[in-house]
A and B are shown apart, each in its own frame.
Chain A
Amino acid sequence: MSALRSSDWASRRVAGWGRALTADMALARPERVADIGRAIAAAGPGGAIARGGGRSYGDAALGAAGFGIELGRLDRLLAFDPTSGALVAEAGVTFADLLAVFLPRGFLAPVTPGTGFATLGGALANDVHGKNHDRVGSFGDHVLWFDLVLASGETRRVTPDSDPELFRATIGGIGLTGVVSTLAVKLLRAPSTAFKVRMAPMAGLEPFLAALEGARAAAGYSVGWIDGLARGGALGRGVLETAEFADPPQPSFRPRRRLSVPIALPLVKRASIALLNRFYAARTGQTGQERIVPAEAFLYPLDALGNWNRLYGRKGFAQFQCVLPDAGAAAGLRALLQAPEREGVPPALVVIKTLGIAGRGYLSFALRGVTLALDVAMTGRTPALLERLADIALDHGGRVYLAKDAALSATQFARMYPQAEKLRAVKARVDPDGRFCSAMAQRLGLMATRA
Chain B
Amino acid sequence: MSAGTWIIVGGSSAIARACARRVAAAGADVVLAGRDRADLEHSAADLRVRFGVDARVTEFDATNPDAPAALVAGVQQAARPLNLLLAFATMPEQAAVEADRALLRRGFAVNLVAAAALLDSFAPLLEAQGAGRVLVFGSVAGDRGRRSNYAYGAAKAGLAAFVEGFGARMAPAGVSVTLVKPGFTDTGLTWGKRGMALAASPESVARAALAAVAAGRPVSYAPWFWRWIMLVIRLLPGRVMRRLSI
Chain A residues at the B interface, C-beta cutoff of 8 Å: 1-3, 5-6, 8-11, 29, 31-34, 73, 76-80, 90, 101
Neighbouring A residues of B187 by C-beta, 8 Å: 6, 31
Evaluate whether A76 and B188 lie within 8 angstroms (CB atoms) in the complex, with A1-B10, A101-B50 already known: no
- Kindly identify, within residues 24 to 52 of chain B, every residue whose CB is under 8 Å from any CB belonging to chain A: 34-36, 38-39, 42-43, 45-46, 49-50
From B35, B43, B49, residue with most partner A Cβ within 10 Å? B49
Asked if B123 is at the interface of the complex by the 8 Å CB criterion, the answer is no
Question: Which single member of A29, A32, A33, A77 contacts B46 (CB below 8 Å)?
Answer: A77
CB-nearest residue of chain A to B49: A77
From A8, A33, A34, A101, residue with most partner B Cβ within 10 Å? A8
Inter-subunit contact A29/B188 (CB<8 Å): yes
Asked if B163 is at the interface of the complex by the 8 Å CB criterion, the answer is no
Complex Cα gap A79–B44 (Å): 10
Q: List 17 A-B contacts (CB under 8 A).
A: A2-B12, A3-B92, A8-B188, A31-B12, A32-B39, A33-B38, A34-B36, A34-B39, A73-B188, A76-B42, A76-B46, A77-B46, A77-B49, A79-B49, A80-B49, A101-B49, A101-B50
Question: Which single member of B34, B39, B42 contacts A1 (CB below 8 Å)?
Answer: B34
Complex Cα gap A287–B240 (Å): 75
Complex Cα gap A33–B36 (Å): 11
Asked if B168 is at the interface of the complex by the 8 Å CB criterion, the answer is no
Asked if B90 is at the interface of the complex by the 8 Å CB criterion, the answer is yes
Complex Cα gap A28–B63 (Å): 29
Inter-subunit contact B89/A1 (CB<8 Å): yes
Question: Which single member of B50, B62, B88, B191 contacts A6 (CB below 8 Å)?
Answer: B191
Inter-subunit contact A31/B43 (CB<8 Å): no
Neighbouring A residues of B195 by C-beta, 8 Å: none
Inter-subunit contact A2/B89 (CB<8 Å): yes
Evaluate whether A32 and B12 lie within 8 angstroms (CB atoms) in the complex, with A6-B188, A76-B42 already known: yes
Question: Which single member of A2, A33, A101 contacts B42 (CB below 8 Å)?
Answer: A33
Complex Cα gap A10–B90 (Å): 21
Neighbouring B residues of A101 by C-beta, 8 Å: 49-50
Closest CB of chain A to B9's CB: distance in Å? 9
Inter-subunit contact B90/A2 (CB<8 Å): yes
Question: Which single member of B43, B45, B46, B188 contacts A2 (CB below 8 Å)?
Answer: B188
Neighbouring B residues of A76 by C-beta, 8 Å: 42-43, 45-46
Closest CB of chain B to A92's CB: distance in Å? 12
Inter-subunit contact A78/B92 (CB<8 Å): no
From A11, A34, A77, A101, residue with most partner B Cβ within 10 Å? A77
- Kindly identify, within residues 178 to 218 of chain B, every residue whose CB is under 8 Å from any CB belonging to chain A: 187-189, 191-192
CB-nearest residue of chain B to A90: B42
Neighbouring A residues of B189 by C-beta, 8 Å: 2, 5-6
Asked if B126 is at the interface of the complex by the 8 Å CB criterion, the answer is no
Complex Cα gap A1–B62 (Å): 8
Task: Give 7 nearest A-B pairs by CB, closest first.
Answer: A6-B188, A76-B46, A10-B192, A1-B88, A8-B192, A77-B49, A32-B39
Inter-subunit contact A1/B46 (CB<8 Å): no
The contact string, 1 if C-beta is below 8 Å from chain A, for chain B 111-153, is 0000000000000000000000000000000000000000000
Question: Which single member of B10, B12, B45 contacts A77 (CB below 8 Å)?
Answer: B45
Inter-subunit contact B188/A5 (CB<8 Å): yes
CB-nearest residue of chain B to A31: B188
Complex Cα gap A9–B62 (Å): 28
Complex Cα gap A5–B96 (Å): 15
Neighbouring A residues of B62 by C-beta, 8 Å: 1
Complex Cα gap A6–B50 (Å): 25
Inter-subunit contact A1/B188 (CB<8 Å): no
Inter-subunit contact B36/A32 (CB<8 Å): yes
Closest CB of chain A to B235's CB: distance in Å? 31
Complex Cα gap A333–B45 (Å): 48
Complex Cα gap A8–B191 (Å): 7
Complex Cα gap A322–B48 (Å): 41
Closest CB of chain B to A10's CB: distance in Å? 4
Inter-subunit contact A78/B49 (CB<8 Å): yes
Closest CB of chain B to A83's CB: distance in Å? 14
The contact string, 1 if C-beta is below 8 Å from chain A, for chain B 49-80, is 11000000000001000000000000000000
Neighbouring A residues of B92 by C-beta, 8 Å: 3
Neighbouring A residues of B12 by C-beta, 8 Å: 2, 31-32
